[in-house]
Amino acid sequence: MTASRPDAGAPVIGLDLGGTKIAAALVAGDGAVLARHSLPTPATSGAEAVLDALAGAVRTVWAPGTTAIGVAAAGVIDPRTGTVTSATDTIRGWAGTALAAGLAARTGLPVACDNDVRAAAATELPDPHDGGNGRGVTMIYAAVGTGVGGAVAVDGRMLQGAAGIAGHLGHLPSPEADGLLCTCGATGHLEAIAAGPGITAHYTRMSGVPADRLERVAARAAGGEPHATAAVVLGAEAVGRALGGLANTLGADRVVIGGGVPRIGALYTDALDAAFAAELMAPLRKLRPVPPRGGPDAAVLGAAALPRTLPLHHPPTTTGAPRCPRLSPQP
Ligand SMILES: [Zn+2]
């Protein structure tokens, strides 16, 4: 890694790596998307195959002048070491992968990487110069979907924490989740009651009626079914309380709730907002959670911004050779 940064005006390639899809974009210095490509993630073929697929995506969108690659990836990513600290089995063999080094070696370009939620969250941080007081914003970003992830920025700086794990809001103890097994192996964590599968499972526990997807529970709640309504509201309240407590702890200026679960609608967001507000100390009483500003490009744009702030991991031997010698079409 090095302190040198890509030229602010030069294009950067952003890669968003998820369990099912890789999205790639060539992003100009002003944030304009110049080229894009997406392909399926070879999730069952192992880490080397995923690195090969990422390099293939780079090759597709690359243009002369490209200075660096930013990767927003699933799993716990340590930007300092450029490795995947831990991950679920969504991508086989992903934990322990030398993501930045592997991609730099394949492409000949320097690589910065981070967790996908944190990269998207960074696009929600307002420019500190717009704030008026010169202090960066303290932000809590929650992504409530099939899990509960998140990111925390303090005074405008995104926290990475030990092993890159900062922001894992889903693994806060939650009274609503008391006794429930969490995906991390502990019991009583927020994710176990508030993630989509947690809400669905709670509905089934209360009603005895099987439900395979959150959408089904949401539809029953919209129809006035009391167990479905109770499960949705409890999940929302659990998130609201946890975030309200964190807002007090950190002195948050901005709280963003993203992910698929809030799309249930007003039943969910009203319950979350009320529970959040009930926790706030007096100086924060006007604070309310907001939806993300970013559109569908937030993850690739966040990825493309990573090389400007995070450690760059360089390819093994470039010795002043032209950039991207490895990008020529393979024989
Ligand atoms: Zn947990």
Q: How far apart are alpha carbons 107 and 104 in whole angstroms? A: 5
Q: Could you tell me which of 132, 131, 151, 149 has the C-alpha nearest to residue 141?
A: 151
**For residue 164, how far is its CA from the centre of ligand 1 (angstroms)?**
16
**For residue 188, how far is its CA from the centre of ligand 1 (angstroms)?**
8
Q: What confidence tens digit (pLDDT) does each residue in 245-266 have?
A: 999 999 999 999 999 999 999 9
Q: How far apart are alpha carbons 244 and 236 in whole angstroms? A: 12
Amino acid at residue number 293: R
**For residue 171, how far is its CA from the centre of ligand 1 (angstroms)?**
4
**For residue 326, how far is its CA from the centre of ligand 1 (angstroms)?**
41
**For residue 166, how far is its CA from the centre of ligand 1 (angstroms)?**
13
**For residue 310, how far is its CA from the centre of ligand 1 (angstroms)?**
27
**For residue 193, how far is its CA from the centre of ligand 1 (angstroms)?**
11
Q: What confidence tens digit (pLDDT) does each residue in 143-201 have?
A: 999 899 999 999 999 999 998 899 999 999 999 999 999 999 999 999 999 999 999 99
**For residue 87, how far is its CA from the centre of ligand 1 (angstroms)?**
13
pLDDT(2) > 50: no
Token couple for 246? 């964190």
**For residue 186, how far is its CA from the centre of ligand 1 (angstroms)?**
5
Give pLDDT, residue 324: 53
Q: Which residues are CB-contacts of 188 (< 8 A; sequence separation ≥ 6)?
A: 173, 174, 175, 177, 178, 179, 180, 182
Q: What is the pTM of this model?
A: 0.86
Q: What confidence tens digit (pLDDT) does each residue in 195-218 have?
A: 999 999 999 999 999 999 999 999
**For residue 213, how far is its CA from the centre of ligand 1 (angstroms)?**
21
**For residue 132, how far is its CA from the centre of ligand 1 (angstroms)?**
38
**For residue 214, how far is its CA from the centre of ligand 1 (angstroms)?**
20
**For residue 303, how far is its CA from the centre of ligand 1 (angstroms)?**
26
pLDDT(292) > 70: yes
Q: How far apart are alpha carbons 147 and 18 in whole angstroms? A: 14
**For residue 184, how far is its CA from the centre of ligand 1 (angstroms)?**
4
Order the strands of the 33-40 sheet from edge to edge: 33-40, 21-27, 12-17, 68-73, 111-115
Q: What confidence tens digit (pLDDT) does each residue in 6-25 have?
A: 777 899 999 999 888 999 99
* Burial group, residue 64, by CB count within 10 angstroms (0-12, 13-18, 19+): exposed
